[in-house]
Amino acid sequence: MIRFILRRLLQVIPVFLGTTLLVYYMVFALPGDPIAALFGDRQPPQAVIDTLRSQYHLDQPFWVQYGLFLKNLFTFNLGNDFTGQPIAASLARVFPVTAMLAVEALAIQAIFGVAFGVFAGLRRGGWFDSTVLVASLVVIAVPTFVLGFVFQLVFGVKLGWAKPTVGANADWVTLLLPAVVLGLVSFAYVLRLTRASVSENMNADYVRTATAKGLSRPRVVLAHILRNSLIPVVTYLGANLGGLMGGAIVTEGIFNVPGVGNKLYQAVLRSEGPTIVSIVSVLVLVFVVANLLVDLLYAWLDPRIRYDQ
Amino acid sequence: MRFTRTSKALGIVAIAALALTGCGGGGSTGGSSTAAGDPNKVITAYSNEPQNPLLPANTNEVYGGRVVNLLFEGLRSYDANGKAVNALADSIESSDAQNWTIKVKQGQKFTNGEAITAKTFVDSWNFAANSKNLQNNGFFFESIAGYDDVSAVNSVKGADGKTTTTPAPKADTMSGLQATDDSTITVKLAQPEADWSLRLGYSAFYPLPSAALADPKTYGENPVGNGPYKFEKQGSWVHDQSITLVKNADYKGTREAKNGGVTFKFYTDPGPAYTDLQSDNLDITDVLPSNALKTYVNDFPDRNATKAVATDSTLNIPGYNPNFQGEAGKLRRQALSYAINREEIAKVVFNGTRTPAKAFAPPVIDGFKEGIKGSEVLNFDPAKAKDLWAQADKIQPYDASKPLQIASNTDGGNKEWIDAVANGFKNNLGIQAEIQPFAKFAEVLNLRKSQQLPGLTRAGWQGDYPSLYNFLGPVWATGASSNYEKYSNPEFDKLLKEGLAAKSTDEANAKFNQAQEILFQDLPGLPLWDQARPIVWSNNIVKAETGWNGEILYYGITAK
DSSP characters for B16-73?
A: HHHHHHT-----PPPPPP-PPP-TTPEEEEEE---SS-S-GGG--SHHHHHHHHHH--
Name the burial class of residue A33, with classes exposed (0-12), middle (13-18) and buried (19+) by CB atoms within 10 angstroms of its CB.
middle
CA torsion, points B177, B178, B184, B189, in degrees to nearest 10? -30
Helix B326-338 vs helix B382-395: angle between axes, to the nearest 10 degrees? 170
**Residue A181, amino acid:** V
A146/chain B closest Cα distance in angstroms: 13
Q: How far apart are CA B469 and CA B231, in angstroms?
A: 34
Q: How long is chain A?
A: 309
Residues 55-84 of A with CB under 8 A from B: 59, 82-84
Backbone angles phi, psi at B412, to 5 degrees: -105, 25
Q: Which residues pair with B42 in a beta bridge?
A: B261
- Please give the single-letter amino acid code of residue A11: Q
Q: Smallest CA–CA separation between B9 and chain A, in Å?
A: 6
Q: Chain A: nearest CA to B12, how far in angstroms?
A: 6
Q: What is the pLDDT of residue B37?
A: 61
C-alpha span between B48 and A83 (Å, rounded): 12
- Of the candidates B167, B217, B275, the beta carbon closest to that of A164 is on B275
Does residue B272 belong to the interface with chain A, where contact is any CB pair within 8 Å? yes
Q: Do B275 and A153 touch (CB under 8 A)?
A: yes
Q: Which of A245, A259, A264, A281 is nearest to A78 (CA)?
A: A281
Selected for mutation to probe chain A from B15, B29, B438, B481 (highest A CB count within 10 Å) is: B15
Q: Please give the pLDDT value at position B28.
A: 34
Residue of A39, A42, A146 to mutate for B, most B C-beta atoms under 10 A = A42
Strand B558-559 versus strand B404-409 pairing type: unpaired
What is the per-residue pLDDT for B269? Answer: 83
Q: What are phi and psi of B306, to 5 degrees?
A: -135, 125
Task: Give, for all 560 residues of chain B, the pLDDT tens digit.
Answer: 333 333 333 333 333 333 333 333 333 333 334 444 678 899 999 998 888 889 998 888 888 999 999 999 999 999 888 888 999 999 999 888 889 999 999 999 999 999 999 999 999 999 999 988 988 888 889 889 999 999 888 888 877 777 788 888 999 999 999 999 999 999 999 988 888 888 899 999 999 999 999 999 899 999 999 999 999 999 999 988 899 999 999 998 899 999 999 999 998 888 889 999 998 989 999 988 878 888 899 999 999 998 888 888 999 999 888 888 888 899 999 999 999 999 999 888 888 888 999 999 998 888 888 889 999 999 999 999 999 999 998 988 888 888 899 998 876 678 888 999 999 999 998 899 989 888 777 778 878 888 888 889 988 888 888 889 989 988 999 988 788 888 999 999 999 989 888 877 888 899 999 999 999 999 999 999 998 889 999 999 998 999 888 889 999 999 88
Q: What residues in A contact B13, CB-CB < 8 Å?
A: 176
The per-residue pLDDT for B397 is: 87
Is the C-alpha dihedral spanning A109, A115, A119, A122 positive or negative? positive
CB B38 within 8 A of CB B122: no
Residues of B in contact with A173 (CB under 8 A): 5, 8-9, 12
In the predicted model, is pLDDT for residue A14 greater than 80?
yes
- Contacting A residues, span 192-251, partner chain B, CB-CB under 8 Å: none
Which of B74, B80, B82 has the alpha carbon at shortest distance from B120? B74
**B480: how many CB neighbours lie within 10 A of its CB?**
17
Please give the residue of chain B at the shortest CA–CA distance from A48. B134
B443: nearest CA in chain A? A32
**B324 exposure class (CB count in 10 Å sphere: 0-12, 13-18, 19+):** buried
Q: Is the dihedral of CA B365, B366, B367, B371 positive or negative?
A: positive
Given CB atoms, is A271 within the 8 Å cutoff of chain B? yes
* A33 in contact with chain B, both atoms CB, cutoff 8 A: yes
A33 and B445 in contact by Cβ < 8 A?
Answer: yes
Write the residue in A89, A173, A254 that is nearest to B5 by C-beta: A173
d(CA B529, CA B360): 10
> What is the model's pLDDT at position A307?
63
Which candidate from A33, A152, A167 shows the least CB-CB separation from B442? Answer: A33
Q: Residue A167 in contact with residue B241, Cβ under 8 Å?
A: yes
Amino acid at A167: G
Distance, in Å, from the CA atom of B9 to the CA atom of A160, rounded to the nearest integer, reads: 12
> Could you give the CA distance from residue B131 to residue B152 in angstroms, rounded to a whole number?
6
Q: Measure in Å the smallest separation between the Cα of A264 and chain B Cα atoms.
A: 11
Closest residue in A to B168 (Cα) is: A47
Contacts of B275 in chain A (CB under 8 A): 152-153, 156-157, 164-165
By percentage, how much of chain A surpasses pLDDT 90?
A: 7
Number of residues assigned to chain B: 560
Cβ pair A90:B241 closer than 8 A: no
pLDDT at B208: 95
**If contacts are CB pairs under 8 Å, which of residues 406-465 in chain B contact chain A?**
440-443, 445-446, 449, 459-462, 464
In 10 A of CB B33, how many CB atoms?
11
Which residues of chain B make contact with A168, given a CB cutoff of 8 A? 238, 241-242, 265-266
Q: What is the pLDDT of residue B163?
A: 79
> Is A189 an interface residue toward B (CB < 8 Å)?
no
Q: How far apart are the first and last CA of chain A?
A: 10
Asked if the Cβ–Cβ distance from A164 to B276 is below 8 Å, we say yes
What's chain A's Rg over C-alpha atoms? Answer: 24
Nearest to B267 among A54, A136, A256 (CB): A256
Can you tell me the ipTM of this complex?
0.82
Cβ within 8 Å, pair B151-A45: yes
Q: Which residues from A are below 8 Å from B459, CB to CB?
A: 41
Subunit contact A40:B441, Cβ cutoff 8 A: yes
Whether B269 and A89 lie within 8 Å, measured CB to CB: no
DSSP letter assigned to residue B174:
-
Find chain B residues with C-beta within 8 A of A169's C-beta: 241
Q: Do B268 and A59 touch (CB under 8 A)?
A: no
Check whether A253 has a pLDDT greater than 50: yes
Q: How far apart are CA B135 and CA B132, in angstroms?
A: 8
Collect all residues with Cβ–Cβ distance below 8 Å to B218 and sequence separation of at least 6: none
- Nearest CB among A138, A173, A265 relative to B22 is that of A138
Q: Do B16 and A176 touch (CB under 8 A)?
A: yes
> Are A54 and B443 an interchain contact pair (Cβ–Cβ within 8 Å)?
no
What's the whole-model pTM score? 0.82
A302 CB near a chain B CB, below 8 Å? Answer: no
Can you give the three-state secondary structure of B107-171, one letter per residue? Answer: CCECCCCCECCHHHHHHHHHHHHCHHHCCCCHHHHCCECCHHHHCCEEEEECCCCCEEEEECCCC
The CA-CA-CA angle for residues A285, A289, A293, to 5°, reads: 170
**Strand-strand pairing, B242-247 and B261-266:** antiparallel
Most B CBs within 10 Å, among A130, A256, A265, to test the B interface: A256
B380 contact partners, CB below 8 Å, separation of at least 6: B338, B339, B340, B341, B342, B343, B344
Chain A residues near residue B9 by CB distance under 8 angstroms: 173, 176
Q: Could you read off the pLDDT of A80-106 as tens digits, one per residue?
A: 888 778 888 888 888 888 889 998 999
Task: Point out the residue among B15, B134, B464 whose CB comes nearest to the CB of A48.
Answer: B134
In contact, B482 and B445? CB cutoff 8 Å? no
- Is residue A207 pLDDT above 90, yes or no? no
> For residue B93, with 0-12 CB atoms within 10 Å meaning exposed, 13-18 middle and 19 or more buried, which class applies?
exposed
pLDDT reported for residue A40:
67
